[in-house]
Copies of this chain bind each other. A is one copy, B any other.
Amino acid sequence: MSLETVSTNRSHGGTQGVYRHASAETGTPMTFSVFVPDHAPGAKLPVLWYLSGLTCTHANVTEKGEFREACARHGVVFIAPDTSPRGDDVPDDEAYDFGKGAGFYVDATEQPWAVNFRMRSYIERELPDLVTREFPVDMARQGITGHSMGGHGALTVALRNPGRFRSVSAFAPIVSPLACSWGDKALTGYLGPDRAAWREYDACALIADGARLSDLLVDQGTADGFLDDQLKTALLVEACEAAGQPATIRMQDGYDHSYYFISTFLPEHVAWHAERLRA
């Protein structure tokens, strides 16, 4: 598999790159960004994955996330994938919350989505394999975070792959697709009506079913317009308490769902991950 360099820019004492490759999983070109801090020749750095939310591509966090200074300081590679397959041949939906830009990090089983919407396998296997070959990364030291739909992605990928991630955090995650209309629409569409098949894509259900993380950090803004109807942070608090899952879940006063919120706390998350990745 060949890797095409779309752009590189020097920033904060490192290199912010954007790359494209032909994905076997999605059957499409996929674009992602990687920030690599300057490092000693031959060194391999720990990795922080960032999964983005509805409507986003790699570009939103790459341009607005304010993570590079912290990544350079702590020596952490930052990887931001896209949120779905793209292209004229990929099926889509008119709504912002289904189809392109809304892959929900699942392997779809329903048609016409099952052909291209294989974001679970892309994020869990194909992209890590590519990154391992192409970048100076130590895959024994991985952390994962994400925002909204990508917070859901980070939590569920980590819960399904015990031991892979030394650190897991999220910003305003969808904590239970089983319990919100975004999840209901997307998982019905991608996976069909059997809700038992959804549980491996639901952080609260995975925790209730016995999956565990070593630790968890979540930030959620109190002025987030999606909090009550879609994100439902309280369900994650309850699931963690019921299961004895250690978690620090912080309500941030006055913050909303935007990158103005994410960029405020992402540097602190990078430091939190780095502490665990470099331990």
Residues of A within 8 A of B (CB): 9-13, 16, 63-64, 66, 68-69, 221, 223, 254-256, 258-261, 263-264, 267
19 further contact pairs, Cβ within 8 A, besides A11-B261, A12-B263, A69-B267: A9-B256, A9-B261, A10-B221, A10-B223, A10-B254, A10-B260, A10-B261, A10-B264, A11-B260, A11-B264, A13-B264, A16-B260, A63-B63, A63-B64, A63-B259, A64-B64, A66-B263, A68-B264, A69-B264
Interface centre among A11, A68, A263 (most CB of B within 10 A): A11
For the complex, what is the distance from the CA of A153 to the CA of B10, rounded to whole Å? Answer: 25
What are the residues of chain B within 8 A of A68 when measuring CB–CB? 263-264
Report yes or no: B63 in contact with A66, Cβ–Cβ below 8 A: no
Instruction: Decide if the interface of chain A is mainly helix, strand, loop or mixed.
Output: mixed
B66 touches A260 (CB 8 A): no
Give chain B nearest CB distance to A55 CB in angstroms. Answer: 15
Residue pair B64, A9 in contact (C-beta under 8 Å): no
| Chain B residue nearest to A60 in the complex (CB) | B63
Return chain B residues, CB-CB under 8 Å to A13.
264
User: Across the interface, which residues of B come within 8 angstroms of A9, CB to CB?
Assistant: 256, 258, 260-261
CB-based closest 7 A-B pairs: A11-B260, A9-B260, A10-B254, A12-B264, A66-B66, A10-B255, A63-B64
Count chain B CB atoms within 10 A of each CB in A12, A260, A263 and give the residue with the most.
A260
CA of A260 to CA of B10, assembled, Å = 7
Assembly CA distance A254 to B8 (angstroms): 11
Bound together, the chains give a CA A199 to CA B137 distance in angstroms of: 53
A63 (CB) vs chain B CBs: closest residue = B64
Q: Which residues of B contact A69 (CB under 8 A)?
A: 66, 264, 267
CB nearest neighbor in B for A72: B264
A14–chain B nearest beta-carbon distance, Å: 9
CB distance from A17 to the nearest CB of B (A): 11
Please report the C-alpha to C-alpha distance between residue A261 and residue B15 in the assembled complex, in whole angstroms.
Answer: 11
Q: Give the residues in chain B near A264, CB-CB below 8 Å.
A: 10-13, 68-69
